[in-house]
Amino acid sequence: ESSSAAVGKLAEQREERRPRDDTNGRRHKNAALRPGPQFGSSLQPATRGSLSLDLASAVDITLTSTKPVRVSAGTFAPVLVNGRPVGGLILGQSLATLLGLFVLPGVIDADYKGEIMVMVHTLAPPLTLPAGQRFAQFIPLVQHTEKIPPREDRERDDTGFGSCGGLVLLSLDLSKRPKQVVVITYKGEQLSCHALLDTGVDASIINSNCYPSHWPLFEAVATVSGVGGVSLAKRTPMMTIYIDEKQMTAVFSVITLPQGVECLIGRDILSQLGMRL
């Protein structure tokens, strides 16, 4: 009688095997955070034919609004390619874009020696970016401006955001309705009202119910149309207006406006704010 022998090790002789790490690139969003800060020389391309070096988030971050935020890539410049510091572009990755995370393009100079930060925003908050998620890429570039005399004889060092100097931009919160609190001053007195920003109005208007009775008014031959028909308005002397700490001057028309509308800010003031109308 023949008996068949089992091939291989007995159960008690077998070593306990650890499951193999998942190499599926689509699951990299759950990857563990790389320990400690890294330097640009440790960045790696995804494949042999890649033109860029991958950047991953160093921390867990949740975007709760549509405003741009800075995300640390956990990497410090200079970025070394073949032993030489290089500059380059920061762009987003296609998968991150499909998931609703948009990377704002940035430039890393060859003489920059600080932490690499990436600007991102989303149009559909909230959105969570976990630590270790690859979401951006650094594309090395050859410095063609190397022999052009610089405007300042110094290196970029660790100066990044804000290094271009003073920059003033108009920023008004119009997320709910185009309304702003406006402060109107005349001879040391002030009137605060909720104004409706209206690019369809040539001259700004104050509701007669809100205008202080002891402030002067002048007769005007001009009419105001479009607010309940055609009205003969009175006009104010030159007023000083403050919107978000920005100062303008204008003459207002004074008529009765619909209920709930205290003031209309028209193109005469909006143009002073730098709006292109």
Spell out the domains of the chain, with CATH numbers in brackets: 34-141 (2.70.40.10), 179-273 (2.40.70.10)
Residue appearing with tokens 């008996």: 3
Residue appearing with tokens 């004889």: 153
Cβ partners under 8 Å of residue 18, min gap 6? none
Would you give per-residue pLDDT tens digits along the chain (277 residues)? 444 444 444 555 555 544 444 434 333 433 333 444 566 567 888 889 999 999 999 999 999 999 999 999 988 988 888 888 899 999 999 999 999 999 999 999 988 888 999 999 999 989 999 999 999 999 999 888 888 888 877 777 766 665 555 554 555 555 555 788 999 999 999 999 999 888 778 889 999 999 999 999 988 766 666 545 556 678 899 999 998 888 999 999 898 888 888 999 988 888 888 765 4
Question: What is the arrangement of strands in the sheet containing 179-186, beginning at the earlier edge strand?
Answer: 218-225, 230-235, 253-255, 205-207, 263-265, 189-197, 179-186, 239-243, 246-250
CA 121/CA 125 separation, integer angstroms:
9
pLDDT at 131: 93
Cα angle, residue 208 at apex, residues 191 and 237 outer, rounded to 5°: 60
153 is catalytic: no
User: What 8-state DSSP symbol labels residue 198?
Assistant: -
CA 136/CA 88 separation, integer angstroms:
13
- The answer to whether the pTM exceeds 0.85 is no
Nearest to 268 by CA among 216, 199, 177: 199
Mean pLDDT of the chain, nearest integer: 79
pLDDT at 199: 79
DSSP string computed for 105-158: PEEE-TTB-SEEEEEEEESSS-EEE-TT-EEEEEEEE--TTTTSPPSSSS--BT
Catalytic pick from 198, 202, 244, 268? 198
Tokens of 180: 């702003």
CA 46/CA 142 separation, integer angstroms:
20
pLDDT at 230: 55
Cβ partners under 8 Å of residue 98, min gap 6? none
Residue-wise pLDDT for 112-164, tens only, equals 888 999 999 999 989 999 999 999 999 999 888 888 888 877 777 766 665 55
Cβ partners under 8 Å of residue 84, min gap 6? none
